[in-house]
Chains A and B, each alone.
Chain A
Amino acid sequence: MSTTLIEITSKQRNSNSWEEPFFINMGPQHPSTHGVLRLVLELEGETIVHCDPRIGYLHRGVEKLAENLNYNQTVVLSDRLDYIASAANNVAFCLAFEKLFGLEVPRRAKLLRTIVGEMARISSHLLWLATHALDIGAMTVFLYCFRDREWLLNIFEKICGARLTHSYVRVGGVRLDFTQEIIDELYKFTEEFPNRILEYETLIDVNRIWLKRTIDIAVVTAEKAINLGLTGPVLRGSGVPYDVRKFRPYDAYSEVEFEVPVGERGDTYDRYKVRMKELRQSNWIIRQCLDKLAETKGEPVLAEGAPDLLIPEKIKEPEPKPHPKKGFIFTGKEVDVVPPGEAFASIESPKGELAVYVVSDGSNKPWRLRIRTPSFVHISAIPELSRGYMIADLIAIIGTLDVVLGDCDR
């Protein structure tokens, strides 16, 4: 608050008129800033003149921590970034590390990763819809969405034992195979879920108040969106069909069919529509992957040569010398765990493009791990998007950007 007061006084000193700008400090504790986002707003009436997001309240220094943990431990950190869709984060980290290690993931593991990635997308989008609608005031949608998200989380629990921070994906594959029970449950889910989407849409799709609150709010042109670095559904809402799953396919996305829905006007309603269509596409992808899983039954889910959970500092190259008494002794020279170099991997996380850039120095820990998270970029765009709109619209804008502060602050 003190900084805000300083700003007020300095503004007063510099301004010619006597009017004091009306500052409001939204957050870090506020019902609709989705965590600990703090926005310092300068208002004129209820219109936003300037908005200055202050982040860092959830800064845990994941990038620094990763430099002191080994690669498999780092994957666990990734759960805590975007805790709504942690499976997607796991995938991004593992893809980058696998590039470093030079591992080829087995097909079944790829399919499983695709499934959990899309499940994460559905659960993230459901949470987004729930909170977005709640922010605008439609309370019932919230609980409808949570009902179905609960189902999905229960399936996650069956898959890996955790509901939120899965760490299911690991370097070189996945941790566990699906049991038949999970596959049956997922079939049931994919069967039922399209009807559930219809349910949400009946509630708000043509609701006059919903339309009034979302149409022509926070319009971003395609060019502007690219310039602002927006990705994911927000960019596609502006009509740019950029989807990492199509442009740089990873995992099993090259072998499944799906469409990339795009919007036209680039307003909040279009982004809502895009996400609703994505829910259906994700459902369709899961369905296809489940069918393909049957073909690969019994295949391994972890690549050969995948690093152990506790990666040693240096590996001793086994040079099997016959020992007169003990059989073999390993007196090889020490070699690097992973070749030094750098790797970059990006995925289409539910919120946008999640990119991981990792530099290695040959030891078991990353030398530098850079995480480009979509929420970070999206929050940086809030001042540009919210200028000239009202406070009530700002809520809709935060909602439509779908930010998670754990993802933003890292």
Chain B
Amino acid sequence: MEELYKEINERFSKFLLKLEEKDCPVITVKREGFLDFIEFLKDFGFKHLIDLCGVDYLNYKPEKKEERFEVVYHLYNFEKRALIRVKVPIPESDCWQYSLTFLWETSNWFERECWDMFGIKFKGHPDLRRLLMPEDWEGFPLRKDYPLYLEEDKEWKGYKELKRKTKGEHS
């Protein structure tokens, strides 16, 4: 791992925001240099993209986050048996991230889910549709300002129409 740190510090110091050692190495990078960085990691041997997810840090109390969102990647190296976590902060006003579909096909659905749940757009994604929610859903459920419970007709605009239709058919 030392050589990885060394190389990261040498090559990506410009984009590196933070390098911590928690339960696994946690590397926070800027969005600008992210693609090069992740390609470097893949070449380094981190071939298995375990997970890709978004986190919303709206009003996160323990520490002040610069940006509202974070996209978190978990990568795994089979040879060295090493796990690594890469975090990329995403500002709310400019809410997009680079897509990794050209490197990992598995990131396709992860990114679609992330868009579905947080509204983070992925640049370069071939097919960015909603995945878990219905196609005409409004709002992004996993954002912290999205309420847990809403009236049905407020939650989904198709609900009213559906209700009217069923009523119309019965009467």
* Whether chain A touches chain B in the assembled complex (some CB pair under 8 Å): yes
Q: Is A362 in contact with B61, judged by CB distance below 8 angstroms?
A: yes
- Look across to chain B and name the residue whose beta carbon is closest to the beta carbon of A367: B60
- Which of A61, A357, A362 contacts B141, CB < 8 Å? A61
| Residue among B47, B109, B117 with max Cβ neighbours from chain A (10 Å) | B109
Q: Is the beta-carbon distance between B132 and A64 smaller than 8 angstroms?
A: no
Say whether B47 contacts A384, CB under 8 Å.
no
Q: Of B24, B104, B148, which one neighbours A68 at CB under 8 angstroms?
A: B148
Counting CB contacts under 8 A, is B159 at the interface? no
Smallest beta-carbon distance A409→chain B, Å: 6
Among B22, B23, B62, B78, contact of A240 (Cβ-Cβ < 8 Å): B78
Main secondary structure, interface of B, reads loop
Contacts of B41 in A (CB 8 A): none
Asked if B106 is at the interface of the complex by the 8 Å CB criterion, the answer is yes
Q: With A229-B106, A344-B83, A381-B106 known to touch, is A370 a contact of B51 (CB < 8 Å)?
A: yes
With A227-B106, A247-B81, A361-B60 in contact, is A372–B132 under 8 Å at CB?
no
Q: How far is the CB of A403 from the nearest CB of chain B, in Å?
A: 13
Q: How far is the CA of A361 from the CA of B65 in the complex (A)?
A: 12
Please state if B56 and A377 are interface contacts (CB–CB under 8 Å). no
Is B23 in contact with A99, judged by CB distance below 8 angstroms? yes
Chain A CB within 10 Å — which of B23, B72, B81, B106 has the most? Answer: B106
Residue from B105, B113, B141 within 8 A of A227 (CB atoms): B105
Bound CA span A379–B106, Å:
10
Q: Which of chain A's residues has its CB closest to B141's CB?
A: A64
Contacts of A362 in B (CB 8 A): 61-62
Q: Is the C-beta of A73 less than 8 angstroms from some C-beta in chain B?
A: no
Chain A: interface secondary structure?
Answer: mixed
Q: Does A55 contact B (CB under 8 A)?
A: yes
Is B23 a contact of A359 with CB atoms below 8 Å? Answer: no
Bound-complex Cα distance A64 to B23 (A): 24
Give the residue name and chain of the B residue nearest to A343 (CB): B23
- A 101-122 binary contact with B (CB < 8 Å = 1; else 0): 0000000000000000000000
Within 8 A of B (CB), among A328-376: 340-344, 346, 353, 355, 357, 359, 361-362, 367-368, 370, 372, 376
Residues on A with C-beta less than 8 A from B26 are 342
- Chain A contributes a number of interface residues (CB within 8 A of B) equal to 43
Contact check, B106 vs A380: say whether CB atoms are below 8 A apart.
Answer: yes
Tell me whether B109 and A359 are in contact (CB under 8 A): no
Asked if residues A242 and B104 are in contact (CB atoms below 8 Å), the reply is no
A342-B20 Cα distance, complex, nearest whole Å: 12
What B residues does A343 contact at CB under 8 A? 23
Is B16 interfacial (CB 8 A cutoff)?
no
Report whether A344 and B85 are in contact in the complex, using a CB–CB cutoff of 8 Å.
yes
Q: Find the A residue at minimum CB distance from B60.
A: A361
Q: Name the residue on B nearest A360 (C-beta).
A: B62
Residue A248 lies at the interface, judged by CB distance under 8 Å to chain B: yes
Kindly state the separation between the CA atoms of A63 and B133 in the bound complex, as whole angstroms.
14
Q: Which one of B62, B78, B81, B109 contacts A361 once the chains associate, using CB atoms below 8 Å?
A: B62
Q: Is the CB of B72 within 8 A of A357?
A: yes
Decide if A248 touches B60 in the complex (CB within 8 Å).
no
B48 within 8 Å of A (CB atoms): yes
Asked whether B50 is an interface residue with its Cβ less than 8 Å from the other chain, the reply is: yes
Interface: B35 (CB within 8 A): no
Please provide the chain A residues from 43 to 84 with a CB less than 8 Å away from any CB of chain B in the complex: 55-56, 59, 61, 63-65, 68
Q: Which residue of A lies closest to B135 (CB)?
A: A3
CA distance A3 to B81 in the complex (A): 44
Residues of chain B contacted by A381 (CB below 8 angstroms): 105-106
**CB atoms of A229 and B49 under 8 A apart:** yes
CA distance A273 to B56 in the complex (A): 43
- The distance in angstroms between the C-alpha atoms of A90 and B49, with both chains bound, is 23
**Chain B 110-153: CB-based contact to A (< 8 A → 1; otherwise 0):** 00010001000000000000011111000001100010100000
A selection of 28 A-B contacts at a CB cut-off of 8 Å is A56-B132, A226-B78, A227-B105, A227-B106, A228-B106, A229-B49, A229-B105, A342-B23, A344-B85, A346-B50, A353-B50, A355-B50, A357-B74, A362-B61, A362-B62, A367-B60, A368-B55, A368-B56, A370-B53, A370-B55, A372-B50, A372-B74, A376-B109, A376-B113, A377-B106, A380-B109, A381-B105, A410-B132
> 7 extra interchain contacts, Cβ-Cβ under 8 A, other than A344-B24, A355-B50?
A3-B135, A59-B133, A63-B117, A226-B47, A342-B26, A362-B61, A368-B56
